[in-house]
Each structure stands twice: as C-alpha cells, then as structure tokens.
Amino acid sequence: MASLAPFRVTLQPSGHSFTTDGSDSVLQAALDAGLTLPYGCRNGACGACKGKVIDGLVDHGAAQEHALSTADRAGGLALFCCAKPLSDLVLECREVGTAKDIPVKIMPCRVQKMERVADDVIVLSLKLPVNERLQFLAGQYIEFLLKDGKRRAFSIANAPHDDGFLQLHVRLIAGGEFTGHVFGGMKEKDILRFQGPYGSFFLREESSKPVILLAGGTGFAPIKALVEHAIHNHIVRPMEIYWGARNKAGLYLPDLPESWAAAHDHIRYMPVLSDATAQDAWNGRTGLVHRAVLEDHVDLSTYQVYACGAPAMIDAARAEFLARGLPAEEFFADAFTFAPPAAAAALA
C-alpha cells in the first residue's frame, strides 16, 4: 500500500523535481507536475520510458521482463510508466523539451466514435492498440496513410494527459476524397493507419507572456488541445481565445470555450461570425476573426499568438499583427491546406 507521506523525486541532469504520495507511477506524477518524460505504451511493455534510479527505492510494478530484464533491475534501471516510489528518488532520465525529442511512429487505430457536431463537422475518436500510446505535444498533428500512398493530416484535439483516445475534428470539404469517405462511408470500428506526431505548433511553456489563441473553423482543434493542456498543468498565463466561423453552426462546440472562461479568470473567449444569418439571431462579434483581435489590441508587442486556420487567415493575421508590434518570433501558426506539404496540417 502506498505511503501517504510525500516523496520528492528529482530528475537529473535537469534538476527538476516534484512531489508525489507514491500512489501514481513516476511517469504519471511527472506529467501531473508539468514535466514530460519519454514514454510509449504506458503499461511496462515497450521500454521507451526506461531510466536509472540513482538514489532511492521503487516498486517496479507491472514492468515486463522483455522490457526490463533482471540485469536491468540489478543495474538500477526502471520503467517509469509503472515504477512507483517507495522513498525519495533521484532519477537519471531524458526529458522531452521540444517536438524533436518525441519519436514519430506509424500506428494502427480503430474508429471508436463518430460524433456529428455540425452538418459539416465530425469529431472522430480513435482508439490505439492496447499496448500502445502516442506521445505528442498539445497542438501537434498526425497524418493518415491512405491505400493509394496519399496522406491526409489532422490536428490532435485532445491534450497529451488525456491520451486514451485521439480526438480529431474533421470538416467535410467539397471534392475532398478522404473527408468524403469520413462523412459517407466510414463506420465505427474501421481500422486506419497513421504516422506522427508532427508539427511545431505547441505552447512555449518557458514564456510568461499573455497568449492570444486564434482559430478559424476546425482550426479550433489544436487550440482546444493547447488550452486543455494549459489548464491541466496549472498554467495561468492570460489566454484570449478568438474563434471565427461563417455562421453560428461553425462554432460547433460552443459550450466548451465558454466553460473554460467561466471556470478560469485568466481565460477569455470571443466568438466571431463573418456571415451570420437571420436564423443565427447573432448579437455577438462580427467580421473577420483576426480583425476582432486588432479591435481589442492596439499594441501586441508583449503577446504570443497561436493561430490555426485557412492560409488566408494566417497570412493576414501575421502581417497585421506584426504591424501592431507583435515580434515575428512570437507568432506560431498551423495553416490548413487542401494538398498539404509534410509540415502543414490539412482538412481534405
């Protein structure tokens, strides 16, 4: 039975530390403390989280022999996804600091759930194999590998701590072969293959600057991941979410950002419609979503901006925000395109 007395775990060579009561694995306790260690399966089978116990004792839990041999244990090694502290610990391990620290994998997945949240938007939930997990940074994307050799890229809409399923937001694109299949032929329990994670669209946590999060349409997906990651890790930098769509139906998860803003004083939410209809009965902000940011901010020199949406929105926002003083290095973008290069997310 785990002790209720807190143990201090110190990571080397970084010197980062956190406390835990021993009821969770070292990996889970580190993730809960906002520190990202490498992992793969999270159940003691793959060895991706292996590190050395320099000082202290652990319960190795369900570590499997092929991933952590008797010789490994004798040499002080442990699998942090299932090892639990029995004392204060000093551990030698690598920490994930940037996207390049995370391996890109090819994995199968099963369509677990398809939820139609608007006429042209489906939220896909994908289940990974039992002994697999995809490590990723909030805001990154995956690419589906299609039978004809083509790829289709979608941002991951859930945060890394909530990795039992991968959530994607898929918009139906006229003439889009893959999205047409999602809306017309895909069924729950279908098997797909993907590769990832990819992308440099993730929160720069070393900064303390206030954040503007700009989303157009299903560009809300990675913004959602960033916000949920920040909330989970108790990041309280001011965050302003601007979500733009043509009509009210385009804001397909309206209650979610409203709930974030209601529950957290440092989060504000501004929905913006560019072509509201009479049926929308819309009394909120109108026009182009990036212009709403400009209406609210004369000077952007102290901000970071994370923008995701159509290339035209990204290009306009970048040019006009920089003209308002935003440093070029503080503008991070993920542009949705119909024929994606390897480094851009896509909708088609």
**pLDDT tens digits along 117-159:** 999 999 999 999 988 889 999 999 999 999 888 899 999 999 9
Same domain, 27 and 107: no
331, 215: one domain: yes
pLDDT score of 48: 75
Check pLDDT > 90 for residue 343: no
Indicate if 315 and 248 belong to the same structural domain. yes
Residue 1 maps to a domain: no
pTM of the shown model: 0.78
In a domain, 233, yes or no: yes
Same domain, 192 and 249: no
Do the domain assignments include residue 346?
A: no
Q: Determine how many CB atoms are found less than 10 A away from the CB of residue 338.
A: 14
* Residue 135 belongs to some domain of the structure: yes
Task: Indicate whether 216 and 187 sit together in one domain.
Answer: no
| pLDDT bracket for residue 338 (50, 70, 90) | very low
Query: Is residue 181 in some structural domain?
Result: yes
Mean pLDDT rounded to a whole number for the chain: 90
260 and 304 within one domain: yes
- Of the residues 95, 128, 144, the one at which a domain ends: 95
Does the pLDDT of residue 289 top 50, yes or no?
yes
CB atoms within 10 A of CB 48: 18
pLDDT of residue 4: 59
Mean pLDDT of 205-228: 97
Out of 21-35, 111-125, 234-248, pick the least confident: 21-35
Full domain range(s) for residue 73: 7-95
Query: What band does 2 get if pLDDT is binned at 50, 70 and 90?
Result: very low
Among 58, 78, 95, where does a domain finish? 95
pLDDT score, position 344 = 37
Is 310 in the same domain as 244?
Answer: yes
User: Does the residue 299 lie in any domain?
Assistant: yes
Are 253 and 190 members of one domain? no
Q: Are 62 and 113 within one domain?
A: no
% of the chain at pLDDT higher than 90? 72
Q: What is the pLDDT of residue 345?
A: 40
CATH number at residue 70: 3.10.20.30
pLDDT at residue number 348: 32
What confidence category does residue 40 fall into, taking pLDDT thresholds of 50, 70 and 90?
low
Give the rounded distance of the alpha carbon of 45 from its chain centre. 24
What pLDDT was estimated at residue 155?
A: 95
Measured in whole angstroms, the distance separating CA 43 from the mean position of its chain's CA atoms is 21
pLDDT tens digits, 48-62? 788 999 999 999 998
The CATH number of whichever domain residue 254 belongs to comes to 3.40.50.80
Has residue 214 got a pLDDT over 90?
yes
From the number of C-beta atoms within 10 Å of its C-beta (0-12, 13-18, 19+), residue 162 rates as middle
Residues 85 and 111 reside in one and the same domain: no
Both 217 and 313 in one domain: the answer is yes
Partners of 285 in the beta sheet? 272
Q: Please tell me the least confidently modeled range out of 98-112, 154-168, 302-316, 329-343.
A: 329-343
| Token pair 């994670």 in the structure block, residue | 197
**pLDDT score, position 229:** 95
**Domains held by the chain: number:** 3
The residue ranges of DSSP E strands in the chain, in sequence order, are 7-12, 17-20, 50-55, 58-59, 77-79, 84-85, 89-92, 105-118, 121-127, 141-145, 151-155, 165-171, 191-198, 211-216, 239-245, 267-273, 285-286, 304-309, 331-335
H/E stretch holding 220 reads helix 220-232
* Residue 267 in domain: yes
Closest CA to 227 of 207, 203, 252: 203
| pLDDT on residue 12 | 93
Among residues 39, 63, 95, the one where a domain terminates is: 95
Q: Cα(277)–Cα(139) distance, rounded to whole angstroms?
A: 31
In a domain, 269, yes or no: yes
**Are 77 and 108 in a shared domain?**
no
Q: Is the pLDDT of residue 315 over 50?
A: yes
Residue 165 has pLDDT above 60, yes or no: yes
